[in-house]
Amino acid sequence: MLQISAFANQIFDALIQQYHLLDDIGQPYKNTYQENPLAALLYQKCWTDTVQWHVEDLVRDPQIDAAKGLAYKRLIDKLNQERTDTVEKIDDFYLHHFQQTKAEPHARVNTESPAWAIDRLSILALKTYHMQQEVLRIDIDTQKKTACQQKLNLLLEQRVDLSTSIDELLQDIAAGKKRMKVYRQMKMYNDPELNPVLYAKHKD
């Protein structure tokens, strides 16, 4: 449980490899970890990130049809909300897991919850995979390849540091040195009662 980073990275790497067998944002989604609640959430989280990564690429096509571009933007908004919802479910998992843990009187609150740190780990897995693909390209010159390799090395170093930090955070929460505290994301632009453009429409 406490060495979550290795577990998460294994799921993320396998999923990203699996996605790229078809490399299609419309390919069927099948979560293969339904018997393990945490693994299922990690899989769902990285799948959403992976699809969104590729939609973000598609929407930046300078020749894109306006209608298709708008459809992609709507899909990005939907995926962003799914990403947030899944992160909050991961935090719910840890809130339940640590509900009997008593924090020390002077226990600190971390700058982000475990799930939002894991969210960054999922994105980092995608960055690492795609930078590796750039390094492997045969249609770029040596200078560009070297630059990509340097970026890849930095991403790999960052992955080690972030993985270590996540594991240490969970260890500190388990030991009572840090307090498990969660703030929900309040995405007002998706709420028809809080987005002024949306609720103004209802008044018409």
- The string of pLDDT tens digits covering residues 83-96 is 999 999 999 999 99
Q: What is the model's pLDDT at position 81?
A: 93
Q: What is the model's pLDDT at position 195?
A: 80
Q: Name the band, by pLDDT with cuts 50, 70 and 90, for residue 204.
A: low
Q: What is the model's pLDDT at position 130?
A: 98
Instruction: Pick the closest to residue 174 from 100, 120, 121 (CA basis).
Output: 100
pTM, whole model, 2 decimals? 0.92
Contacts of 125 (CB under 8 A, 6+ apart): 9, 12, 13, 16, 46, 159
**pLDDT at position 110 over 80:** yes
Q: Name the band, by pLDDT with cuts 50, 70 and 90, for residue 202.
A: low
Instruction: Report the percent of the chain where pLDDT is more than 70.
Output: 97
8 A C-beta contact, residue 161 and residue 3: no
Query: Mean pLDDT, the chain, as a whole number?
Result: 94
Q: What is the model's pLDDT at position 203?
A: 64
**pLDDT at position 70 over 80:** yes
The first and second tokens of residue 113, run together, are 């919850």
Quickly count: other Cβ atoms within 10 Å of residue 202's Cβ: 8
